[in-house]
Amino acid sequence: MEYRQAKTGKLMIEILPDRCDFCGCCVGVCPEDAIELKEAEIFIIDPRCTNCAKCVWSCPIEVIKFNKNGIPK
Amino acid sequence: MQKEYDVIVVGAGPAGSMAARFAAEKGVSVLMLEKDRDVGYPVRCGEAISKAGVEEFIQSDDKWIAARISKFSFNAPDGSEVIIEFGEAGYVLERRIFDYELARTAADAGADILTRAYVNGLLFDDDGKVSGVKYEYHGEQKEIKCKVVIAADGVESRVGRWAGLKTHIDFRDMESAVQITAANIPVDQNTLYFFFGKNVAPNGYFWIFPKGHNKANIGLGISGIIGKKKSAQSFLDDFMNKHYPNAPILTKIAGGVPCSITLDKISAPGIMLVGDAARQVNPLSGGGIASGMIGGSIAGRIAAEAILMNKLDHILTYDKAWSDRLGKRHEIFNRIKEGIYNFSDEKFNSIAHSLLKIPIEKRTLGRVFSVALWNNPSLLLDIAKVFVI
């Protein structure tokens, strides 16, 4: 299995775009500017992410998940 | 649209619109870029504001006033309700109309406005000064130069980062919020309701703000510390299932409220930050409309002055101007917030019981805070400062 690569190894953060409200909480708390957010489009900039999970904790509607096994490509 | 502008404002919320307006009123050229299709929509806000906060900038108008507020209701975990009466103290807004009108005042002053323009980078001159923005419009990547960028890009606050300012907020200070606008909520239409306690909104508060005809904004914000264990959404579901299980839902929205002191630096060569992007929210109440408009107006005025004097360093005086007007006060509010948010349910209950002994005509916000902080003497000094300043 091939995995998406974060700055610190395997990427373990996953945003579920179909359920996202594009509110920007996660972007505001991200220390690495690793989340791109447009009007109705959101994604992680993999090589910047450090898997710190602050975005997971600050999402008001549980749309960001932490998966320690890594996110497949 | 011009090829170059004196000022480019990124984001067309209340702070951005006031920055654009106050700069344009001084006669400099202004372009305001908004990433979404509409100015003022989607609304990520509880929409409550004081009357004074509005009227500093725009005459009150029924078309964007959903409810007129004359009472606060504070609700303790054991159900004790403390009501405080004011005169007509404030409004619950219809922000999708209000924001539109604010942007219109910027346009009246001469600002150009473009929606669906997504700013995704900055331009710099040889000295490292910000000298314009890169943006995506109709699928095309574009650039436009200016003398000053005013970043009003909201809770995300990425534009400032690209200029080297530290804008990301500690996840503990981010109040993650979720709100519904529901119908058939039979609460008093002139009262803002606040609920406290570990079951409804630990390290934050839960609100019901009326919007007229028994519609209401119902929501809460919680710190990321709490969100680690239970999400804002889950708290909202619990409340609605208990109190209004069959309420029709007209809107549901998520949002983040940066409840901290203002950033250390809110200007740098060629760039100024305003509103949520500068963390200019009142950290105690989470209210950011009025303070954002104030921040925006100061920044817009100073940017225009700098351009007219041909002395761009002048924009660096913005930090102090903001600090003197509201920034210092927010530092005190932040200390009070930290005191209150750590209260146990028992403490909230005992405070409510003490307040209920004060006759309603003698209850003021000042007395509420004094009683609330009776058990926390170190904060009394801070309280005193709030009411002296």
Residue B86 touches chain A, beta carbons under 8 Å? no
Which among B168, B176, B225 is the nearest to A60, CB-wise? B176
- Is A72 in a helix, a strand, or coil? strand
Total domains present in chain A: 1
Q: Which chain B residue shows the shortest CA-CA distance from A62?
A: B231
The model's confidence at residue B388, banded by pLDDT at 50, 70 and 90, is very low
DSSP single-letter state for residue B327 = I
Evaluate whether residue A50 is within a structural domain: yes
CATH class of B65-93+171-258: alpha beta
Mean pLDDT of B265-271: 98
pLDDT at res. B6? 98
Q: What is the pLDDT of residue B376?
A: 58
Do A28 and B44 lie within an 8 Å CB cutoff?
no
**CATH value at residue A34:** 3.30.70.20
Joined together, the tokens standing for residue A67 give 């998966």
Q: What is the mean pLDDT of residues B21-44?
A: 97
Contact call for A62 and B234, based on CB within 8 A: yes
Q: What is the pLDDT of residues A3-47, one digit of tens each?
A: 999 999 999 999 998 999 999 999 999 999 999 999 999 999 999
Residue B111 and residue B20: Cα distance in Å, rounded?
6
Q: Quick check: B156 and A27 CB within 8 A?
A: yes
The mean pLDDT value for B371-388 works out to 55
* CB environment B178-208: b (16+ within 10 A), e (fewer): bbbbbeebebebbbbbbbbbeebbbbbbbbb
- How near does any CA of chain B get to the CA of A31, in Å? 6
Q: What is the pLDDT of residue B377?
A: 52
CA distance B161 to B121: 10
Nearest to A27 among B158, B232, B253 (CB): B158
In a domain, A71, yes or no: no
Q: Which residue has the tokens 């570990």?
A: B198
C-beta separation of B210 from B216 below 8 A: yes
Amino acid at A43: F
Task: List the structure tokens of B267.
Answer: 């200007």
Amino acid B348: pLDDT: 87
Average pLDDT in the B285-293 region?
95
pLDDT band at B387 (very low <50, low <70, confident <90, very high): very low
Domain layout of chain B by residue ranges: 4-44+96-170+262-327, 65-93+171-258, 337-388
Using 50, 70 and 90 to split pLDDT, how confident is the model at B374? low
What value of ipTM does the predicted structure carry?
A: 0.95
Q: How confident is the model at residue B357 (pLDDT cuts 50, 70, 90)?
A: confident
Residue A36 lies in a domain: yes
Angle between helices B365-372 and B345-356 (to 10 degrees): 130
Judged by CB atoms closer than 8 Å, whether chains meet at A28 and B157 is answered as: yes
| pLDDT tens column, B128-146 | 999 999 999 999 999 999 9
Give the whole-angstrom CA distance, residue B192 versus residue B195.
10
Comparing alpha-carbon positions, the chain A residue that sits nearest to B169 is: A29
CA distances from residue B79 to B82, B204, B304, B357 in whole angstroms, order as listed: 10, 17, 52, 16
Residue A16 lies in domain = 5-66
| CB-based contact B194:B205 (threshold 8 Å) | yes
Chain B, residues 206-245, CB within 8 A of chain A, namely 224-225, 227-228, 231-234
User: Residue B362 contacts by C-beta under 8 Å, 6 or more apart in sequence?
Assistant: none
Report the greatest alpha carbon distance in chain B. 66
CA distance B161 to chain A (A): 8
In this structure, are residues B8 and B144 in contact, taking their beta carbons and an 8 Å threshold? yes
Q: How far apart are the C-alpha atoms of B12 and B194, rounded to whole Å?
A: 29
Q: Write out the H or E segment, with its range, that includes residue B148.
A: strand B140-151
Q: Which residues contact A7 (CB under 8 A, 6 or more apart)?
A: A32, A34, A47, A48, A49, A50
CATH topology of domain B4-44+96-170+262-327: FAD/NAD(P)-binding domain (3.50.50)
- B191 secondary structure, DSSP code: E
